[in-house]
Amino acid sequence: MKALIVIHPDWTKEWGNPKRMHEYVNCKIEYRDVSEQEIVDLRIPEAMVTVKIPLEVFIRSEELQNKIRAIDLIYNGLDRRTIDGYVWIENIDTHDVPEYLSMEEYLRMKEAGVIFPPEIISIYENNGENVVENWEENEENDEEEVEEEEVSNEEE
C-alpha cells in the first residue's frame, strides 16, 4: 500500500492528509510503499469512506442528528454536505467506525435507510456473527457463574 508520509524538521513522521497539505511547511513529503508497522504507528487509513443518509431520515431522527453532531465534535476531519436529498458524511476512516458506531446503532440506521459503503457493511457483518457468538458464550458463562454462586450460598 502506498501512502503520503510527512517528515517534519525534527524527523517525526505522520500520515500526510491530502486535505491538510498547507500545514506541512518545511517538511519533506514522500509518497511511497509503507510497511504494516508504519500503518499502525502512523495511523494510516486503509480506506476512507462516505456514508449517505437520506435527508428525510436525517430530519425525522433526533437520535441520528445527535449522533452525527457528537461525532462531528470529536472526529477530526469529518466532512458533511447535503446533495440531491442526501446528507453525505465523508472522510471516515474505516478503522474508527467500530469505535463510534455500535452494532445496535448500525442496525437501526441501516433499517431507517442509511446507505453504508461495502467496507462498513463487511465490518458489521463479520462482527455481527462474532457478537452473537460472544453473547451466547457470555450468557452460558453467566449461567454457570450463577449456578456456582447458588451452590456456594447453599453450602454456607
Q: Where are the domains of the chain?
A: 2-41, 48-119
Measured CA to CA, the distance from residue 115 to residue 50 in angstroms comes to: 9
From the candidate CATH numbers 3.40.1350, 1.10.3470, 3.30.70, 3.10.450, the one assigned to the domain spanning 48-119: 3.30.70
Measured CA to CA, the distance from residue 4 to residue 16 in angstroms comes to: 5
105 in Cβ contact with 51 (< 8 Å): no
| pTM for the whole structure | 0.65
Contact partners, residue 26, CB within 8 Å, separation at least 6: 8, 9
What string of pLDDT tens digits covers the 156 residues of the chain? 888 999 999 999 999 888 788 889 999 999 999 999 998 899 888 888 999 999 999 999 998 899 888 888 888 778 889 999 999 999 888 888 888 899 999 999 999 999 999 999 999 987 544 444 444 444 454 455 445 545 455 555
> Residues for the chain: how many in total?
156
Measured CA to CA, the distance from residue 38 to residue 92 in angstroms comes to: 20
